Amino acid sequence: MSSKPRQSKHFPDSFFRVSIKGLYIKNGKMLLLKESKEKGEMWELPGGGLEFGEDPQEGLKREVLEEAGLTVTEVSKNPIYAWQNKFENKRHMDWYHSLVLAYKINLQNLEFRPSEECIEIGFFSLEELANLNLNVQTKGLLAHFSLEDFK
């Protein structure tokens, strides 16, 4: 017996917010950004929300520059991973889904510039990721990620 989908006064049942994230791997470790205190000081992948009608690769470049002052020089043609999260009682909405698209990226350099959104960057191994306070969207990557995809 199937249950009726949960309705929202904000969006139709199929509403997804699209997030684009960058995967930058150096010496077997993943680059993460630490969110500001206002955002909970969690570690997350570089990137953010895609604006309506925006090209995903251009949106990813914009988000990484805004958050961390880092210039993305290359973005893979297609996402390497995709996953979803469901959020409830966030952004003044009953619920919404987030579709996360993760692309391989290259950076011009690692000259980080803190912002209102991001206070620190770091590189972490898979083992270290297990002990970090990860943003829920970044946690979703762990079910898919393999270093073999970056060789």
Q: What is the mean pLDDT of residues 47-67?
A: 94
pLDDT score at 93 = 66
Check the CA dihedral 81-86-87-93 and report its sign: positive
Q: What is the pLDDT of residues 1-56, one digit of tens each?
A: 445 555 566 655 556 678 999 999 999 999 999 998 888 899 999 999 888 889 99
Q: How does DSSP classify residue 78?
A: S
Cross-strand partners of 35? 118
pLDDT at 84 over 90: no
Q: What is the pLDDT of residue 36?
A: 87
Q: How far is CA 132 from the centre of its chain?
A: 15
- From 76-80, 89-93, 134-138, the region with the lowest mean pLDDT: 89-93
Question: Is pLDDT larger for residue 90 or for residue 59?
Answer: 59
| Interstrand relation of 25-26 and 29-35 (parallel, antiparallel or unpaired) | antiparallel
Q: What sections of the chain are H helices per DSSP? A: 56-68, 126-129, 136-141
* Segment 50-75 mean pLDDT: 95
pLDDT given at position 100: 93
User: To the nearest whole number, what is the mean pLDDT of the chain?
Assistant: 88
**What pTM, to 2 d.p., does this model score?**
0.84
Q: What percent of the chain has pLDDT over 90?
A: 66
